[in-house]
Amino acid sequence: MLEVFEAPYNTWNSSRISFVVNSIDSALVARALIENSNLIKWSLLLKAFLGIVALICGNGYIVGINQIYDIGIDKVNKPYLPIAAGDLSVQSAWFLVIGFAMTGLLIVGSNFGPFITSLYSLGLFLGTIYSVPPFRMKRFPVAAFLIIAMVRGFLLNFGVYYATRAALGLPFQWSAPVAFITTFVTLFALVIAITKDLPDVEGDRKFQISTLATKLGVRNIAFLGSGLLLVNYVAAVLAAIYMPQVFRRSLMIPAHIFLALCLIFQAWVLEQANYTKEAISGFYRFIWNLFYAEYAIFPFI
């Protein structure tokens, strides 16, 4: 999940949390505003800010819970994390995650209505059963990546867009671009879910955590993830070709062809590096960069 607790220890991960939240929130809000520009109000800025804070709190809770129950594994895979490194006590970590959950629920419950509060609570629940015994669904590859896809793909995109339309005084209504980004990112989240464990194979095997990477091998999972992303990009190009009344062909087609070619090149670089841990980490970072790129172009497609 998103690494709130890694902030002081890993520059790239610490920037990722705020960038992910801002990317999703800003892109979907921008799309809703573009579709209804006559309803824009300055008062929406406060709600957007509160929404970002609530999302950060939700991520803080989910990531914190995961690190509390993964101390042994993190000492092998990510020894720089504060709990694994001994810089943050388990008691303090519990204080933080409970504070994150309560703050997030308070913000959402008092500003975004019962439906969004229910979606937010569902996200916290899924994050809990992902990490906490006796459930600990992260032990099961299929359940783990379905939970991640649900939270990253559907709940975030649907929830933010729904909340934005509600703030504008509009009933929820799917638009083709929002349906596209939700579907696209749900599949993308599956790729993130199956590739996130690539750098962590050593620790996962030691602690008998079953992941697709430990079962099928790093090379096979890297190819599988690349293949799924290429399917995404091909589908995006086809959508632009067959639905010109909905999407801007002049942006949608060349942008996704370019991103697909970048992905192919990065997969080739990983193969040439013989799947070293450093190369695998670079490949995983690149996948996140593709994720950001999609949200960057989304408001304009």
Place 95 in a pLDDT band, splitting at 50, 70 and 90: very high
- Evaluated on CA atoms 75, 78, 80, 84, the torsion sign reads negative
pLDDT at 42: 66
How do residues 122-151 score in pLDDT, each as one tens digit?
Answer: 999 999 999 999 999 988 878 888 898 888
Answer yes or no: are the C-beta atoms of 297 and 255 closer than 8 Å: yes
How far, in Å, CA of 195 to CA of 278, rounded? 14
Q: For residue 33, what pLDDT is reported?
A: 55
Whether the Cβ atoms of residue 126 and residue 150 lie closer than 8 Å to each other: yes
Q: Is 114 exposed, middle or buried (0-12, 13-18, 19+ CB in 10 A)?
A: exposed
Contacts for 12-20: CB closer than 8 Å, 24+ residues apart = 12/285, 16/288, 17/56, 17/59, 18/56, 19/292, 20/59, 20/291, 20/292
Determine the residue type at 191: V
CA 250 to chain centre: 28
Where residue 11 falls among pLDDT bands split at 50, 70, 90? very low
- Class of domain 11-173 as given by CATH: mainly alpha
Measured distance CA(258)–CA(270) in Å, rounded: 19
How is the chain split among helix, strand and coil, in percent rounded to 5? 80, 0, 20
Per the structure block, which two tokens stand in for 24? 């999703």
Q: What is the pLDDT of residue 182?
A: 84
Tell me, what's the pLDDT at 148? Answer: 86
Query: What mean pLDDT is predicted for residues 175-179?
Result: 83
Q: Percent of the chain, pLDDT > 70? A: 86
Higher pLDDT, 258 or 32: 258
Which residue would you say has higher pLDDT here, 38 or 196?
Answer: 196
pLDDT at residue 253, rounded to an integer: 96
CA 138 to chain centre: 16
Q: Of 12-21, 25-34, 258-267, 290-299, where does mean pLDDT reach its minimum?
A: 12-21
Quote the pLDDT of residue 2. Answer: 40
Separation CA 44–CA 41 (nearest Å): 6
Look over the chain and give the mean of its residue pLDDT values, rounded to a whole number: 83
CATH 3.30.930 fits 174-300, yes or no: no
Tens of pLDDT, residue by residue over 61-83, are 998 999 999 998 888 878 888 88
Q: What is the pLDDT of residue 47?
A: 80
The domain limits of the chain are 11-173, 174-300
Q: Where residue 24 falls among pLDDT bands split at 50, 70, 90?
A: low
- For the chain, the C-alpha Rg in angstroms (whole number) is 19
- Three-class secondary structure of residue 9 per DSSP: coil
